[in-house]
Amino acid sequence: MTEYYFLASLLPELQIGHVPGLGYAALKPLLIANLNKKDLAKTKKFLHIFDYDNLRALWVGDVFDKRGNFTKIELEQALIDLGWPDGQDFPDYLVDYLGKYQKNEERAKNYFILVSRFLQEQLEKEEGFLQELFQFEKEFRLILIGFRAKKLGRKLSVELQYEDSTDSIVAQILAQKDSKGYEPPFEYHETKFIFDDYGDHPIELHKACLKYRFAKYVELCGSAIFSIDRILGYIARLLLVEKWIELDIQMGVEIIDDIVREVK
């Protein structure tokens, strides 16, 4: 396993709510210059979630996130070619999704199905930090689905109809179909205060979720300071810090609306 002493020594400390000393735009060329081919590919796999989010941005005319692997023009062409700009074919589930939902409105409305399938495939294929990160993101999104359903008085069985009912997280959420309140699955019991304290305040809810994810990423990346997992963990946390900095009142409302639509 390659150890990145020089690159790791360049990375300043990150704190949620504080402007990073090195933004992702400045970090990206350092990654290209210092990571070996295999590890650089891992960073692209992680950033793939931004590519999927950017597909949705195209469908709804939303702000395009430049931190993904591809440009807006490249993704527009990718939807025509049914293949990623780097030469890889779209996975079958994405091709099927595009075939099933022909209109942009339908594609955006059912986006949660697509991103759930993406995360499931990635956590099955990857190992180490990436596998754990994709697992966490999938489960955290499920928890948000449960919270949203309870908040809006919607049926959990309908909201989670495309998920595996034998999955522990899904099963614990479905078990609350007749309860008035919402209890996060026991694996994430510490998130209860987030929903109790900030459930009625979209901006603060988003910030609390970012802060929780930031702390979780610290746990996941391990203690090997110079490893690729540590570098990946740094990138993941840096992007959360940048999202926090970008958050203003209007953007906060829009982002929470996105979360609501995403987990619908």
Q: Where are the alpha helices (DSSP H) in the chain?
A: 5-9, 24-34, 37-60, 72-81, 92-100, 104-109, 111-125, 128-152, 156-159, 168-174, 192-198, 202-220, 228-246, 249-262
Q: Which residues pair with 83 in a beta bridge?
A: 89
- Residues of the chain with pLDDT > 90: what percent? 70
Residue 221 confidence (pLDDT): 82
Distance CA 194, CA 247 (A): 18
Q: Give the model's confidence band at 201: pLDDT under 50 very low, under 70 low, under 90 confident, else very high.
A: confident
What are the pLDDT digits (tens) for 97-138?
A: 999 999 999 999 899 899 999 999 999 999 889 999 999 999
Mean of the per-residue pLDDT values for the chain? 90
Residue 193 confidence (pLDDT): 93
Distance CA 14, CA 237 (A): 8
Examine the pLDDT at 157 and tell me if it is beyond 70.
yes
For the chain, domain boundaries: 14-262
Residue 262 confidence (pLDDT): 59
Distance CA 98, CA 100 (A): 6
Residue 208 confidence (pLDDT): 92
For residue 262, the one-letter residue type is E
Residue 137 confidence (pLDDT): 95
pTM of the model: 0.87
Mean pLDDT of 220-249: 87
What are the pLDDT digits (tens) for 71-100?
A: 999 999 999 999 999 999 999 999 999 999
Examine the pLDDT at 228 and tell me if it is beyond 80.
yes
